[in-house]
Amino acid sequence: MSHLITESGARDAPSGPPPGHARLVEVVVPVHNEERVLAASVRRLHRYLDGTFPYPFRITIADNASTDGTWRAAQALAAELEGVRAVRLDRKGRGRALRHVWSGSDADVVAYMDADLSTDLDAFLPLVAPLISGHSDLAIGSRLTRGAAVVRGPRREVISRCYNLLLRAALAARFTDAQCGFKAARTEIAQALLPRVEDEEWFFDTELLLLAERNGLRIHEVPVDWVDDPDSRVQVWRTARDDLRGMARVARRMLTGGFGAPVGRRDAAAGLPAGMARQLPVFAVIGAVSTAAQLALFVLLRTVLGPLAANAVSLVVTTVGNTAANRRFTFGVTGPGGALRHQAQGLLAFLLGLALSTGGLAALHAAAPGAPRGVEVLALVAANGLATLARFVLMRAWIFRPRGEGGAS
């Protein structure tokens, strides 16, 4: 358990907005032996926020067990700059420092950024704006999404991409960059999640995001400009090892049902999993258009082909269009990446639809040989209803993993 040793600087600058006024944002800068860059970074951050940020703010320097002159520098900054305070903990750990400050914050939004300010500060307002408006619950800077500009060495680039790919493959994460030191959350959401986050160090961010996703919360992503600090204190291989251990621990909690948190899911009122309330109507519209197109094509092909062949051809053609439309509009996947794989998986879903509709037509003709065209169409509608339900389940759980409202595209 972390212990606060001391605190410098007052909470009364600003102490928080009156009701109906602008929202207060608290920015935490967790530091451990950052004497070299702390003063310049905090002055730069304060100058930027004071000059351009449209909301009241507080900067909290959270020193976690530094052994150099970091704490003296933090105290001096708290005395010098209005709206800056410093807290010191006697144990090391970025997650521990963030937990301590965020848990006791009276701000509306809590955020943090690394002491080296590797991320361009122009991304800060886009980061917190969706939280202040209530559109999203958490927000993260991403170096791995479209629009980001990153300067860093190949080793860290490869490790970062492999780590985030592993998160997506093993734990079905939908956010693109778990490790960027540029994140924010609505305070009540952060304070509800924190008791369920076990890590106190570098895996803290990842565990918090996975917990939020698991509980149906919206995560907004902002592409950032980011320049690697060549003097970074992160021990890459040790951190990677600890992250893998953290992933294994979270996976066990997920499998045993112990990864919940006392937060209201966005779709809880409808009794639906996260994102489904938005996806279902879009999927239904696309499904209706696809069904109409398939039936029209079936009737047209029926003039030259038998019922089974006409059904198969019309299904193949409309399935390609259906998969492409659901990819873009229902599940929010854009760009060419993975398009061929999605179509291949969509064709497997098509085979299920083909089996259902073909079986329905075969059963119809076995029971009533020479059934009229209208009865064939009705049989197809019934079979397509079952196939559509199965296809939605496959698309959501397999072809396109569920996407939160604020997730990356």
Which positions are catalytic? 205
Record the tokens describing residue 139, joined without a space: 């927000």
Three-class SS of the chain: CCCEEEEECCCCCCCCCCCCCCCCEEEEEEECCCHHHHHHHHHHHHHHHHHHCCCCEEEEEEEECCCCCHHHHHHHHHHHCCCEEEEEECCCCHHHHHHHHHHCCCCCEEEEECCCCCECHHHHHHHHHHHHCCCCCEEEEECCCCCCEEECCHHHHHHHHHHHHHHHHHHCCCCCCCCCCEEEEEHHHHHHHHHHCCCCCCCHHHHHHHHHHHCCCCEEEEECEEECCCCCCCCHHHHHHHHHHHHHHHHHHHHCCCCCCCCCCCCHHHCCCCCHHHHHHHHHHHHHHHHHHHHHHHHHHCCCCCHHHHHHHHHHHHHHHHHHHHHHHHCCCCCCCCHHHHHHHHHHHHHHHHHHHHHHHHHHHHHCCCCCHHHHHHHHHHHHHHHHHHHHHHHHHHHCCCCCCCCCC
Q: Given phi > 0 = left and psi -120 to 50 = alpha, else beta, which region is 358?
A: alpha
